[in-house]
Amino acid sequence: MKRLVLRWGRSSYETDSDLKRERAAALGLGLDWRLDVGKQPDLRGVDVLVVVSGVRVDRAVIAQFTGDLIVATTSGVDHIDVASCQEFGKTLVRCAEARRDAVVEQAIGQLVTLMRGFPALEAAARGGEWARAQLPQLAPRPIQGSSIVVVGQGVIGIRASEVLRGMGARVFGVDPLLPEAPRLEDVLPGADAVTLHCSLTESSRNLLSRERLALLPSHAVMVNTARGDVLDLEAALERVKSGRLRGLAVDVFPEEPWPGLAEAAAIPGVLLTPHSAGFVVDLGRKVAEGVGKALAAWKNGEVPAYRVC
């Protein structure tokens, strides 16, 4: 009997062609593939479970799952009970590469936008003002030569660090899992910019707290494309509003949709996007390829890339 891959859930960005690509990858490996978009499919007899962000994989789901591999189509795994995966001996992997470059592009684009003071120049233009005389006071900063703190040195953080170094920045990669990495408190006072790329864990929750934000110089900017609870958002907004932080770009929020969206977006120097950093037109194709690679490694008895546990 062929081993069964169950795709539980379908994201809004995924086309029929994307799912056909994923199915073809499974069939090409001699596996059966089935799609179920219901609330709770029967997981008995399923060998591989592929899940989207809208599916909550809790302890009860994992206990019923008879297979040994769970593939998350996402970069993060907040919707999956990792501890229960470990308890029941399930291998959990994620499609980390699918959104990597898109997230890095948005983060760096927003860093440039804020560091160069584009929001203020655009606001002046909308008011009919030729703001060239304000440039010395605005003090636009380039990426080249700036000190940029990259919080998190996983798949996305490493790529962001590489690109920023290629642009001439002095990059400080902060990650508690790397013994040689600098301490956050040591690098924040000299930072021109901070970009967040860490996963949400108990140790990273409120990592950029009100107290740590106070260590940043007033000309610094911050971008969060990681997880909403990593940053004390209210404290960060207060600092921008009072001129103690030059700019803030936020793509992820403590609550989504975030109820304070309109009020925060009205603050000069604040850029808000709706958890969209990882979305590009070919995301579905990239996810299908990531799932296919995970299935191929598992079928060949190898450890799939980007294993969580």
Q: What is the pLDDT of residues 55-107, one digit of tens each?
A: 999 999 999 999 999 999 999 999 999 999 999 999 999 999 999 999 999 99
Bridge partners (DSSP) listed for residue 173: 150
228 belongs to a structural domain = yes
- CATH code, domain with 263: 3.40.50.720
Do 42 and 174 lie in one domain? The reply is no
pLDDT of residue 243: 97
Give the mean pLDDT of 1-19.
95
pLDDT value, residue 204: 92
Q: Is residue 201 part of a domain?
A: yes
- Within a domain: 308: no
> Are residues 44 and 109 located together in one domain of the fold?
no
Looking at the structure, tell me whether residues 129 and 49 fall in a common domain. Answer: no
Q: Does one domain contain both 79 and 220?
A: no
Task: Let me know whether 128 and 179 are in one domain.
Answer: yes
Mean pLDDT of the chain, nearest integer: 96
**What domain range includes position 264?**
100-272
Residue 52 burial (CB count, 10 A)? 18
Examine the domain organization and report whether 21 and 109 are in the same domain.
no
71 assigned to some structural domain:
yes
Would you say residue 293 lies in a domain?
yes
Domain count, the chain: 2
- Give 72's strand partners: 51, 94
Question: Residue 263's pLDDT is what?
Answer: 97
Tell me: pLDDT of 54 over 90.
Answer: yes
Q: What is the mean pLDDT of residues 183-203?
A: 95
Residue 125 lies in a domain: yes
Residue 65's nearest CA partner among 51, 53, 47, 91 is 47
- Domain match, 85 and 151 both: no
pLDDT band at 39 (very low <50, low <70, confident <90, very high): confident
Q: Hey, CA dihedral for 261, 262, 267, 272, is it positive or negative? A: positive
Structural domain includes residue 305: no
* Same domain (yes/no): 110, 212: yes
On whether both 78 and 104 belong to a single domain, the answer is no
In a shared domain, residues 52 and 154: no
pLDDT band, residue 200 (cuts 50/70/90): confident
Q: Give the torsion sign (CA, 250, 177, 286, 114).
A: positive
Across residues 190-216, what is the average pLDDT?
A: 95
Instruction: Express as a percent the part of the chain with pLDDT over 90.
Output: 94
Q: Quote the CA–CA distance of 106 and 224 in Å, as a whole number.
A: 10
Do both 55 and 169 map to the same domain? no
Render 62-99 in DSSP notation, one character per residue. Answer: HHH--SSEEEESSS--TTB-HHHHHHTT-EEEE-THHH
pLDDT for res 1: 76
Q: Is 304 part of a structural domain of the chain?
A: no
Residues 27 and 112 in one domain: no
Model confidence at 201: pLDDT above 90 = no
- Does the pLDDT at position 40 exceed 90? no
